[in-house]
Amino acid sequence: MKKLFATVLLSISAASAYAGAYGSQSVLVVEDDTGKVLIEKNANAVVPIASLTKLMTAMVVLDARQDMDAPISIDKVDVDMLKHSTSRVPVGASIARRDVLQLALMSSDNRAAASLGRTYPGGTEAFKAAVKAKIAALGMTQTSIEEPTGLSPDNRSSASDMVKMAVAASAYPEIARITTDSKDIININGRGVEYHNTNRFVGAKGWDIGLSKTGYTEEAGRCLIMRIKAAGKNATLVLLNASASSVRAFDAVSIRRFMGGEDVRAARAHPRAEDRAARKSLRTRIAKHGKARHRRA
């Protein structure tokens, strides 16, 4: 028993020892096959989760077994009046529910997510009740979600609970597929419009991603959930409250290299060519589209 206790302490200490190398305020990396905690930093701190919320929205919507081919009309009430985030989905557009789900998850569109909650069977209050029940069913004791987009700072959770949500979401083939699409063309008012994944690692060379969701608000900082495979290992990672997209990206790159047996500090000091390219892509995207658009991520 003493030997087992010592082994557990050593595992926790090792996971915590690497935490200082990461810029995100909360970090948790769990090996999927064993449940072993690989990296842990402030994993039980309860903080705003921004658009990571949309994974919960998607699960509740899919649980309701609504007609995914049925059209949803984007309404004025779906427009973000809290953060005034941008959207390329026009008010009045009629879009199939499956495409609205695609927009909410892949490109993190807030109007799309809001419309999914609004058109839930029984309306917004029934949606909130379903979310509350799902949170309880998953044992997410550190989580509260008040609305479907993640714009509200009252949508709060911990990295520990977000791992539970990621594992549950990955069991939905539709969610896994959508969140790992790098882009898609959606029919908007009879015209094909191309949308891209908010996570630039999706589809990037060297990345094997099974689930993905980004998040950002001023209160939440830059957030990320991914299930990845690296060096033959499968792991779920959660990053909360990074100060910038570059910090979030750097943390993700460092985690992948750590899973491959590399020293985290060395990885950060000497990034590979593909890692530098990924970060350059992020910087280019931010410069091109501006900060305002990234509020939805």
Provide the H-helix boundaries in the chain.
Answer: 2-17, 53-63, 97-106, 110-118, 124-137, 159-170, 173-179, 245-259, 264-269, 273-293
Cα gap 222→240, rounded to integer Å? 6
Q: Is 245 a catalytic residue?
A: no
For residue 258, CA distances in Å to 21, 35, 55, 198, 204 come to 11, 17, 26, 24, 18
Single-letter amino acid code for the residue at 149: T
Among the listed residues 103, 152, 108, the one whose alpha carbon sits nearest the alpha carbon of residue 131: 152
C-alpha pair distances (Å), 260 with each of 35, 254, 294: 17, 10, 31
Q: Which of 24, 26, 41, 54 is catalytic?
A: 54
**Residue partners of 252: CB distance under 8 A and separation at least 6:** 201, 224, 226, 237, 239
CB 101 within 8 A of CB 61: yes
Annotated catalytic, 229? no
| Active-site annotation holder among 87, 107, 108, 212 | 108
Q: How far apart are CA 285 and CA 269, in angstroms?
A: 24
Catalytic residue among 24, 26, 41, 51: 51
Bridge partners, residue 233, by sequence: 230
In the residue annotation, 51 being an active-site residue is answered as yes
Task: Give catalytic residue positions.
Answer: 51, 54, 108
